[in-house]
Chain A
Amino acid sequence: MFYPDHHEEYSEVLSSLGTFMEKELLPISPSIDTGEVKMAGPRKALLKQGMCQIAFPEKYGGLGLPFSVYAAAIEMLGTAEASTCLSVEIHNAVAEGLNRFATDDQKRTYLPSLLSGDSLASFTLTEPASGSDAGTMATSAEKKGGEYSISGSKMFITNAGEADLYLVFAKTKKGPSCFVVEAPNPGLSFGEDLKKLGMRGSRTSEVIFSDCRVPETNLVGEEGKGADYAKEILHSARIIVAALNVGISQLAYEKSLAYARQRKAFGKAISEFQLTREKIADMKTEIDAARLLYLYASRIKETGGDYSSEASQAKVFSTEMSLRVCDSAIQIHGGYGYTTDELHRHWRDARLLTIGEGTSEVLRMLIARRELARSQ
């Protein structure tokens, strides 16, 4: 919407991805939720299509398109297959982190295969005892000869056990730092796939580091700057999470429309009743508002401005909205809503994101701090 001169080009890209998602992912999405179908194959096919090339520089295999095009693609993927979307956006966030903070050599080494989908990444920050307060992380990285030895454990890590590359945040003498750890590594092991309420197709577990050795050259950026890098990566990822939840909500909403039209009560379709219409109106309004918020934050990011507040606003609003919309969807579907996995999974999938990648509580603090600072 912001690029009238490139409208045709960007539409072609999105429409082609959309067709792929609709034909190859949407039909198997319920089976990915139940575990009957494993995500790995479809995810790789999607990455090979170019899902994670959109906003990256051409010299590493990217398409050099604006960030908002990627965000719009994520919304479509959130609709088509939410678990895969979560997995892919985490992977992409790591690639973005490397693109911003790694050396040219490191980028040449790692980015091409991440962008082509030949390898999968995992963002490894959260710990059993430290989430939002990342500064208190316990995982440490000690310099030993020409290597770092990483010890500690991370928790609730998406793509853990499946990824080829882990972007790990561990404390050195100078403070939290950022490392690339490639799998397999003798000092790297994983916990059991955690049983989650939703996003069940995506593997989430503990990541355990026992004297996990990586060369010095695997340090990304400067020692002690890891927390800053993590923050920057997360600001961007929050726009994407907002888009993901808009996608989930959109599907729940469309199913509700279709159901309301054909379900009859008291001799007429329930879509005729005022209270159903109120729900429909509110669902649509909130979805559209959330969409505009993530696109707005994208635009500020594209123009190089400080978008941390807008990204957080988009995430808080979209994730909380998605719970309202998915809950309304269950309500509209009545008994079938409560008893049909394919329907209630939208709420179950959406439920993660007021928690992950920055809780709503912490992000509200960020927004207020930012806005108070701006208004001085």
Chain B
Amino acid sequence: MTVKIWAVSESPSVANEVASVAAAIAGGAGGGYVVVGLDDSGPLLAGDEKLVVRANTLLSASPEAASDALAVAAKEANPDVILVGSTRDGKEIASRLAVKLGRPCSSEVFGVALGTGALRGKRNVFAGKFIAEVSMTLPCVVALKVGTSPTLPASAALAKERMVGVAAPKTKMVERREKQKGTVDLRGAKLIVSAGRGIKKKEDLTLISDLAAALGGAVGCSRPLSADMGWLPEEHHIGLTGVTVHPDLYLAVGISGQLQHVAGVKDSKVIAAVNTDKSAPMFEASDYGVVGDLYAVLPAMLREIKARRH
């Protein structure tokens, strides 16, 4: 029984991961995998087959149009599994395809494997307190959790093109402001020093940034500091509705450790915390904790780090 897998490259930054997962599960399934790109956005990754779906409108500008076009192509090719990255737009594409094609759909899935006539996987539930098994009968659509899988090299092999006619999307994108490159992308950071409400004033964030700089790491924060107080831009917000990180070291400073924050850091190799409150949940989620005042502990840490260098 061969199983045909599509890896949709809706977002260049996650396309690689999606294709890697497709390659991994196709390995045992015999049906091969197809890397599917939208428009003509550059070299696609290695795949058994490559397909570029294009339309009379810019698909990368509209998840709706992309879904329409992919649905047309999918009805012809009939892939058993359609994989897409679980980004914000990716989830939209996945759910639209699920409705258009009449297939089951799940999002934020990792650890996928093919069973007989079904695709199994796992996803975090209850803000990461539990892991659930997910099972979808084939054919299905799956949005894969990003940041969890290794990557494949790009390939110069040519892609088949499928030009599709789609209706004009109902929404119109009139502007896109890319977030400035060079500002932090915590998703790849190996070391993060993160600030929470224990920081009393915006000016005091220098304690965090100084320590991060001394350690060659990035600065993160819990939701209140970005969303509520606007002390740091949204890219620094780590948590269920922010960024998920997996550094080697995550140092949580003055962060109480609400479930929704911990959900974003669970995969860190080592977690450490500094907090005055001994009963802060962050300590439960940490390997090492210092119960103390960050205003004294952080400068002391900085001195210790500098001393070790000499």
Contacts and interface: CB of A to CB of B under 8 A. Distances in A.
Q: Do A and B come from one complex?
A: yes
Interface of A: 27, 258-259, 262
B197 A259 contact: no
Interface in B182-205: 197
A80 to B, nearest CB: 16
> For chain B, which range describes its interface: under 10, 10 to 19, 20 to 34, or 35 or more residues?
under 10
Nearest to A336: B278
B279 interface: yes
A262 B278 CA distance: 9
A258 B284 CA distance: 13
Interface of B: 197, 278-279
Nearest to A255: B279
B197 A258 contact: no
Contacts of B279: 258, 262
A27 B278 contact: no
B118 to A, nearest CB: 43
Contacts of A27: 197
Contacts of B197: 27
A277 to B, nearest CB: 20
A166 B279 CA distance: 42
Nearest to B277: A342
A258 B291 CA distance: 15
A259 to B, nearest CB: 7
Closest 4 CB pairs of A and B: A258-B279, A262-B278, A259-B278, A27-B197
Nearest to A263: B278
6 contacts: A27-B197, A258-B278, A258-B279, A259-B278, A262-B278, A262-B279
Contacts of A262: 278-279
Nearest to A36: B200
A27 B258 CA distance: 14
Contacts of A259: 278
Nearest to B200: A36
Nearest to A254: B279
Nearest to A27: B197
A43 to B, nearest CB: 21
A262 B279 CA distance: 9
A236 to B, nearest CB: 36
Contacts of A258: 278-279
Nearest to A259: B278
A262 B291 CA distance: 13
B160 to A, nearest CB: 56
A259 B291 CA distance: 13
A258 B278 CA distance: 9
Nearest to B276: A342
A110 to B, nearest CB: 37
A258 B281 CA distance: 12
